[in-house]
Amino acid sequence: MKHVKDVMTVDVPRVRSSATVLETARVMNEAEATGVVVFDGNKPVGMVSDRRFLREFLEMNEKPSDVKISEVMGPFYRVEPNATLKEATRSILDHGVTRLGVFDGEKFLGWITLSDLAKEFTRKSLTDLLRKSDEPHPTEWLCPNCQKAFMEKITSVEGTVLRWECQKCHHIL
């Protein structure tokens, strides 16, 4: 079975967190990309997809040159490079997102998109693959409050998810 590192996209467009929505749209258009990673210095702090633009920015009813991309960006859903494509697919489908940030520890390596996965599977084989096992899979994302740590899943003894909590700022989802 292939792993995320075998099919992920490494040449991902990037913008600074201080960039405007207009600047970000230009970067996406020039790269012919459906999303960008938002960086604060060398640290990835979020991402924006074309879907996010439609959901977040359009409702603001502001000029794209007046809104910072940090006001529109969303958190990363995270996957490790050695995760299987099945694990990545499950995470994408479970969270209703189009891409996962690929991280080795805290280092951003690229992302894997629904399109990357679709190239690897036919619809039938993907459905069959997902039905074969219900094993749990890890999901992490960058804290939307402090953007300095990944959220940790807090579960009960029975394994029920109680909440997600940032270990740095203790933000709870």
- Residues 35 and 51 grouped into a single domain: yes
- Residues 96 and 18 grouped into a single domain: yes
- Residues 61 and 138 grouped into a single domain: yes
Range of the domain at 113: 4-142
For the stretch 35-62, what's the b/e string if a residue is b when 16 or more beta carbons lie within 10 angstroms of its beta carbon?
bbbbbeeeebbbbbbeebbeebbeeeee
pLDDT for 33: 92
Task: Report the number of distinct structural domains present in the chain.
Answer: 2
- Residues 165 and 103 grouped into a single domain: no
- Residues 80 and 15 grouped into a single domain: yes
**Residue 55 belongs to a domain with what CATH number?**
3.10.580.10
- Residues 81 and 148 grouped into a single domain: no
- Residues 151 and 96 grouped into a single domain: no
- Residues 148 and 137 grouped into a single domain: no
pLDDT along the chain (173 residues), means of 10: 90 95 95 93 90 83 92 89 91 87 93 85 56 49 74 73 78 73
- Residues 147 and 158 grouped into a single domain: yes
- Residues 71 and 103 grouped into a single domain: yes
Give pTM, 2 decimals. 0.67
- Residues 135 and 105 grouped into a single domain: yes
- Residues 104 and 156 grouped into a single domain: no
pLDDT for 103: 94
